[in-house]
Structure formats: C-alpha cells, structure tokens
Amino acid sequence: MKNSRSNSPDLISALRILKNSTAFRIATRTVKWPLAVASLVLLLATVVGLVAIDAQADLLVYLGGSGAHDWSDLPSMFSFFVFAQVAFESLQWGRRSLQNRISVAITGTLRRNISNKYSEMRYADLQLISSGDVAQLHASDASQLAGVWAEGILSFVATLVLTLGVSIFLTLQVGVSGLAFFLVLFVLVILAQRFARRTAPTLQKRAEYSALRLSVIQESVRSISLVKSLTAEEEFEHRVAKQAELEQDMKLQANAISCAYVPVFASLRWLGWAGLLLWVVYAPIFFGEPLVPVVLVGLVFSVNWYSSLLQDSFLFVGTYLSFIQVGAVSALRLDQFLDRPSARAQFFLPRTEEVDLAVEDVTVDYPTRTGQWALQNASMNALRGKLTVIVGPVGSGKSTLLRTLLGELSPSHGRVLRRTPLKVAYLAQDVALPSASLRDVLRYEFENLGHDDIRLGELLELAEFAQDLESLPAGLSTAVGERGVTLSGGQRLRVGLAQLSYFSDADALLLDDPLAALDAATSEALMAGLICGLWANKTRVVVTHSPALIARADWLVRLEAGRVVEQGPPAENTLIRPIRSNEHLSPTSF
C-alpha cells in the first residue's frame, strides 16, 4: 500500500475522491438518516443563532437610546434574548450529539468491514499486506473517514450558512460593511481551496510513515524474546524513532502551512473594521447628513461582535477542510484495502470417483515475487480415504502445494480439482490460535454458550494434551493468548489437532507438518490415535519429515525445487532411501 496514488487531493478532488469511494459510500449509507436529521438541526440552529444575534443587537441599540424611552420594554426584550440563546445552545447540543452518533456509527461500520475483509483474505493476498497497514487502517483511517461527515462537511456547511446569514443581516443593517463581508467570503473560499491543496501531500505522507512505524513496532513487540536475545533493542528503537521523526516532519509541515493561513482567515475582522471606518468617517463627507450617535454606538458594537464571530468561524474553516482532505486520503487507503479483488478459489471436478483433491499441471508464482514460481507443472492426486504424504527439502514448495489444494493460492497455470461437496480442514505449520480461553479456541465459539467440557477433554486426550491440560492454571478456561503465545510450539500443534477433531465432519484433512516439535512418544501416539486412527477413513494430505509417518503413507509425493520429482506407494519409492539410512537409530521408539 506504499504506492498509493501520489496526486494530492485539493478540496475539489478530495470531494471527487469521496464521491467515487467505496468506503465513503459505505459510510454514508450507514448514517443516511442521522445525517438528514443533523442537517435539519444545523439549519434550525443557524436560524435561531441569527435570531439570538439580532436580539442582542436590538438590546444594545435599545440600551444606547437611553433617555428616549422609559425602559419598560427591557425585561421582555431581555427575556427574548435569553430564550433565543438557550434555544440555540439546546440545538447545538442536539447537533453535537448527532455528530457523535454519526462518527461512531461510521467508524464502527468501517472497522467491521476492514476486519471481515481481512479475515476473508486468502493466503496469497495476506502476504502483500503488512500488519502495520491494517492497524493504521483500523486505528486512524476509519475514524478519519468518519470525520469527513461528522467534523468536516457538517461544520463547514454550518460556517458557510452562518456567514451567509450574518452577511445578509449586516448588509441590511450597515450596508457597505456587510457587502464587504460578501467579498471576503468569496476570497476566503478561494484561499481555503489553495490551503487544502498545499496541505494534502503532507497528510498523505504522514499516513504512510505512520503505517510503517506501526509495522516496525508490531514486529519487535511480537518477537520480543528474540529481539532481547539479539540485544537488538537499540536497533528497533532506532527504526521506530526514524519513522516517528519522518511522521513528525510531516506534522510540522502541515502545521506551518495552516498557521500561515491563520491571518488570512482572520483578516475578516480587520476588513469589517475598515468598512466601519469608511462608513462612519467618510460617508458623512459625501452624504452631509451625520448618522444619529445612538445608531453609531450600536453599529460599533455590532461590527466588533459580528466580525469576531465570523473570524472565529473562519479560524476553524481550515480545520474543517483538513478533516475533509484527511478523510479523502484515508478513503483512498481504505478503498485500496476494501476493493482488493478477493479472488475466489476456483475448483474443477476430478474425473475419477476415488479422487477427492488434486492438482493438474499447476504452476504457482510467489505472491511476493511475480515471475518466480514456487511450484512448476506439479500434478498429484489425493485419493479418497488414503494418506498422501508430501516430502521434500526446504523451500521445495510443500506448503505451497498444500495451500494450493486448499484454494488459498491461485495457480498461474493448471487446474485445482476438488470433489463436491467436500469439507476440508487445514492445520497450518505455524498454528495460529485466536486469543480466547482454551475452551473457546477449541470450539471456535466466542459467545460463551453452553460448555461441553467432557467432550473437549476427550478430544484433548486424543491429541495427547491431557497432561499439559493438568498443568494449565485454569484448565479449559486458561486464556491461550494472542497467537497462542502462552503455549509452546508443540502444545499449539496439539491444540490445533484437537480443534480439528472437534470439527469431525470434515471429509479431507490437510496437515502441514503436524508432528514437528513433538517428542517421538507423542508423535507415535498422535499417529496411532488420530492421523491413522480416528481419521483413518478420511482423505489426508500431510506434509511431514517424520520417518514413521512416511512409512505409513499410502502414497508419497516428493518435491524438489517446486517440481514433483517422484510419486508412488512408499515401498517401491526411492525417496525413502535417506530415511532408511537413519533407521539404525530406531527413531520410532524414543
């Protein structure tokens, strides 16, 4: 995602990006009704706000006209002013409340979409996404896109409507000075647009640096024991600090730009006063007729008040606009993630009845290195109810073959065959368990439904985990932690196997090195109990280095450098030669 589009959105193109953005469409659809109500409240608040301002101006003028009246209207005028103010505040409260709801609803919907997309992503696509990017999308981009509606557009429109209202109001009351506001309004919109164009690239770069920073943090925290054993803490401090500083530079740049525009946005009040000066001092020269002093007094305060009001609004215009822009940048990033084509696995029907799974002449490219293949013209069958074992040296494509059978990788050539209907279960080499209690992990059930601990206990016993279970502090309720970190590699494998046996309705099992990191006695028990016991009638495709399991295979496939070099029943297969040479150590008996 580093190569996101580099053309920086000014305000117009930011809006265009948002218009075409999937993420923004999702966001808007979620909050259609709250948005409509919020707009209505906004409009109402503006009208009431103007009425309150008017009431205040009337009060000032009334106050200025002392001697001309007997003060009898003061209580009613004043009550009206207070009433209008309270009504205005109440509407503001409602508007803020709606904005909060809009913001939370959009963020939530986007986060759900990100998570679902991420969990649907096939292995091939996952390799192209860094976890820092996902964290960044989740933590910043989702809320920034929510800011487009909640903080950006709604507030910007509110400012525009208010400015327009005050301008009309002032024009009616003060003439020239009010017209000056219109002129300023026009100039300001143009300036705001320029401001937006200048800040955009820094905002985009900032998001990219932030994603990189999070990637490094994640890497180091997840493998902290390794980092510590390598005494590489400083190295990672340095890497994180480097990214954080790049990010900081972008923030400083954005700050410098927005501060440069502060006086521009604030010039409104200055112009208001200049208009007043012209009107009060020089108009009488041309019109001869001096204004009534009382009106003048009201005028002075009105101009001072309105211009400060508008100045404040415009001080924030830059912020509102930057919300829209930042949101547009986030929308681009979110779209790249959400619009990523999720290629569905394509399976063909095997020609013969006894084949459950097969590949035919498949070539698979490395997801991260196009043009370099991990498998080349490989063909193999997994027969129904048989144990197929895949062997081969490191990097020869064993896991890739398994993932291709699973449909997680798309071959650039050849076909993947699968009988329908066929339920396939998979155990990855590096078993990842969701962080939950052992009970929930086994059942893949996170809503704390009823317990069936007896059955789970039996399954764990089958998976040779009974002894480990006793040593766990809270038994089945023990939290196995993120990625199952509280368990050793061997324990994770066995929990993974128990999990598979909980979902016993699978017809075929694809196991990636299920006996690694296990002692010989445990391996033997697992082979006898599960792989060649409970699952004896299922179709099994197993990647392994275990000589004992190889010896039990119905069919052996040997890979070398991405090609199937030999396959056949084990007895007549030459590939077990290296294993035989180890047999003097009686490997199965330890």
Partner 1 sequence: MFESELQGRIRWSTVRAFFQAALKQKSPLLTGLFALVFASAGWSAVSLYCGELADRLMDLGRSGAVVHRDQRLASLFLIVIGLLYLMYLGNRYGRLYLNQTLIRALTDLHARAMNAVLAAPMSFFHSTPSGRIVSRFSNDFHNASQSLDRTMATFIYACFTMFFSSIGILRNQPLVLGVAVPFALAIFFVSRFFGRRARDQQRAASRAAALVLAHVNETGNVGVSARALGLAQRLEARMNTLQSNSARLSLATAETSNLRAYVQSVLALCLIAIAFFVSAEAHKAGALTLGQAGAVITLLMLILRNFVLVIELFNTIEVGFVSIERMVEFSLLPAEKDIQQTSLAQESESALLKFENVALRYSPNEPLILKGLTAEIDSCKMIGVVGRTGAGKSTLISALLRFTPLDEGRIILRGVDLASLTIKEARRKVALVPQDPVLFSGTILENIVPGGSFSKKKAHEEIYNLLSLVGLGEWVAQLPAGLRTHLLERGANLSQGQRQLLCLARALAQSPEILVLDEATSAVDIETERLVSSALQKIKTQIPILLIAHRPVTIRSCDEVWVLSEGRISRIGSPQQVFAEELLQ
Per CB under 8 A, contacts with partner 1 among 141-200 are 143
Residue from the set 29, 69, 194, 251 that interacts with partner 1 by CB under 8 A = 251
504 makes contact with partner 1 (CB under 8 A): no
Q: How many CB atoms lie within 10 A of CB 470?
A: 8
Residue type, 259: C
Instruction: Candidates 195-203, 346-354, 381-389, 463-471: pick the segment binding partner 1 (CB under 8 A).
Output: 463-471
Residue from the set 127, 342, 352, 412 that interacts with partner 1 by CB under 8 A = 127
Residue from the set 175, 290, 533, 568 that interacts with partner 1 by CB under 8 A = 290
Residue from the set 343, 466, 474, 485 that interacts with partner 1 by CB under 8 A = 485
Instruction: Candidates 160-168, 191-199, 349-357, 423-431: pick the segment binding partner 1 (CB under 8 A).
Output: 423-431
Contact assessment for residue 57 and residue 371, using Cβ atoms and an 8 Å cutoff: no
119 makes contact with partner 1 (CB under 8 A): yes
Say whether 452 sits in a helix, a strand or coil.
coil
Kindly state the smallest distance separating residue 545's Cβ from partner 1, in Å. 5
- Cβ proximity to partner 1: between 15 and 129 the closer is 129
105 makes contact with partner 1 (CB under 8 A): yes
Element (H, E) at 261: none
Cα–Cα distance between 391 and 544 in angstroms, integer? Answer: 6
CA angle 361, 363, 365 (to 5 degrees): 170
Residue from the set 13, 37, 118, 185 that interacts with partner 1 by CB under 8 A = 118
Residue from the set 5, 16, 69, 108 that interacts with partner 1 by CB under 8 A = 108
230 makes contact with partner 1 (CB under 8 A): yes
Site of tokens 């144990």: 387
- CA dist 306 → 262, 279, 316, 512 (Å): 18, 16, 16, 73
Cα–Cα distance between 177 and 175 in angstroms, integer? Answer: 6
252 makes contact with partner 1 (CB under 8 A): yes
Residue 308, Cα to own-chain centre: how many angstroms? 40
579 makes contact with partner 1 (CB under 8 A): yes
Residue type, 10: D
CA-based nearest residue to 175, from 264, 291, 64:
291
Element (H, E) at 564: strand 563-568
By CB under 8 A, the residues from 371 to 410 that bind partner 1 are: 391-396, 399, 406, 408
80 makes contact with partner 1 (CB under 8 A): no
Cβ-count burial 151-189 (b if 16+ within 10 Å, e if not): bbbbbbebbbbbbebbbebbbebbeebbebbeebbeebe
Residue 568, Cα to own-chain centre: how many angstroms? 47
Residue from the set 80, 182, 301, 347 that interacts with partner 1 by CB under 8 A = 301
By CB under 8 A, the residues from 12 to 41 that bind partner 1 are: none
Positive or negative: CA dihedral 90, 95, 96, 97: positive
Residue from the set 488, 504, 537, 574 that interacts with partner 1 by CB under 8 A = 488
Q: How many CB atoms lie within 10 A of CB 9?
A: 26
Residue from the set 214, 328, 438, 551 that interacts with partner 1 by CB under 8 A = 214
**φ/ψ of residue 435, rounded to 5:** -80, 110
568 makes contact with partner 1 (CB under 8 A): no
Kindly state the smallest distance separating residue 434's Cβ from partner 1, in Å. 5
Number of shown-chain residues binding partner 1 (CB under 8 A): 180
- Cβ proximity to partner 1: between 412 and 582 the closer is 582
344 makes contact with partner 1 (CB under 8 A): no
Kindly state the smallest distance separating residue 108's Cβ from partner 1, in Å. 4
